[in-house]
Amino acid sequence: MRDFVERVVEKLSVGENKDRVSVVQYSREAEVHFSLNTHRTREDVMDAVRGLRHRGGRPLNTGAALQYVMDNVFTNSTGSRRLQGVPQILILLAGGRSFDNVDTSASALKQRGIFVFAIGSRTSDSRELQRLSFEPSYALSVSDFSGLDTVQEQISSLMSTAAPKVGFLHRILTSRDVVFLLDATDATRSDFPAVQDFVQRVVETLLVDEKKDRVSVVQYSRDPAVQFYLNTYMTKDEILNAVRNLRHKGGRSLNTGAALQYLRENVFTASSGSRRLEGVPQVLILLSSGRSADSVDAPASALKQMGILTFAVGSRGSDSRELQRISHKPTSAFTVAEFTDLSSVPQQLLASLEALPIDVTPETPTDSGTSIMQPFRCHSRTPFTSL
């Protein structure tokens, strides 16, 4: 295993602004030997690899190790440049079937755009290796680890095929389509400046651009009214100016269900600027001051099926259970006493937005204008295990 890692590292251009390498061993628990920002030269990495000592232990908890790597290795503080679009690669060597469940952590790594290559021995579970890998074809097997040299070229080739996907994944990771659905009934008239301020503070945190974040605002009461679509404004200043100039719509009845249905059919669409079919996360932030006069269940379910990530913010007049049913998960529902207290919400909301999953299923665009990184210009992340 050490020889295998050395041969991979020999092909890298290690440097602070080039390739970075980290190594982890695991059995029952994971242990980081060095992080992505520990060594800045190939010689230092090679010396560290040669100095590795077998960790030992039982059982083999691959699921927990993957979670550990995600939480403690692929992070800004430990040298990961994931959010800057640098390819993130995890090479896993597993000598048997995992004692714990791997599906949740493997899925989470894929959602973050981390390319996982799983290499197993004859005692490994081939189907588990495929589930662990970013794609089933990224799973490789050897009779035993003394034969790892036979898959060295395969790994290099597969990493080369992964590289063209990086620009696409980076665009997804740094892009969001954000729609605000604002309760504009008569009951919220005096609170409307606080609502506008809330929207402005969220927009201030976004990277607004045609190829990055896009924003739409809709007011509703009995009927919804689009103030601007996702493709109306392409700069932050334009959006902030439009939000400042909003005029309260008014209306007596609060038909949240009809408004959600309207968004599905008229706002989260390609013609209105939505990039849902390209895999860009779709975010809906709902502000509601009371219980809906119509049913929200069917339209909320339809939005979830489309992959819309809904965050619902209600005042004390709202139905907390209704807000939870509307949200893409119960913890994405927030409540404040009054809309004048909305200042307490953005930090919670922004933390949730940063943890958004991404959809990595759309096909990679073949646009020749896309910038492609070199195959090994990456974070290489190698957990070791032993039987």
pLDDT digits (tens, 9 = 90+) for 16-66: 888 999 999 999 999 999 999 999 999 999 999 999 999 899 999 999 999
Quick one: 35 and 71 in the same domain?
yes
Quick one: 136 and 182 in the same domain?
no
Quick one: 194 and 70 in the same domain?
no
Assess whether pLDDT exceeds 80 at residue 202: yes
Quick one: 109 and 24 in the same domain?
yes
Quick one: 205 and 151 in the same domain?
no
Phi, psi angles (nearest 5°) of residue 310? -100, 130
Quick one: 150 and 182 in the same domain?
no
Assess whether pLDDT exceeds 90 at residue 169: no
Separation of alpha carbons 111 and 363, rounded Å: 15
Quick one: 126 and 184 in the same domain?
no
Separation of alpha carbons 81 and 378, rounded Å: 9
Separation of alpha carbons 146 and 311, rounded Å: 51
Between 36 and 350, name the one with better pLDDT: 36
Quick one: 156 and 291 in the same domain?
no
Separation of alpha carbons 236 and 205, rounded Å: 10
Helix (H) or strand (E) holding 210: none
CATH number at residue 33: 3.40.50.410
How many structural domains are present in the chain?
2
| Domain coverage including residue 312 | 177-354
The pLDDT value given to residue 380 = 40
Q: Is residue 367 part of a domain?
A: no
Quick one: 213 and 338 in the same domain?
yes
Quick one: 205 and 331 in the same domain?
yes
Separation of alpha carbons 231 and 240, rounded Å: 15
The pLDDT value given to residue 359 = 46
Rg of the chain over all Cα atoms, to the nearest angstrom: 24
Quick one: 91 and 195 in the same domain?
no
Q: What size, in residues, is the chain? A: 387
Q: Is residue 194 part of a domain?
A: yes
CB-based contact 214:273 (threshold 8 Å): yes
Q: Is residue 363 part of a domain?
A: no
Q: Is residue 359 part of a domain?
A: no
Q: Is residue 171 part of a domain?
A: no
Rounded mean pLDDT, 172-180: 80
Quick one: 297 and 188 in the same domain?
yes
Q: What percent of the chain has pLDDT over 70?
A: 86
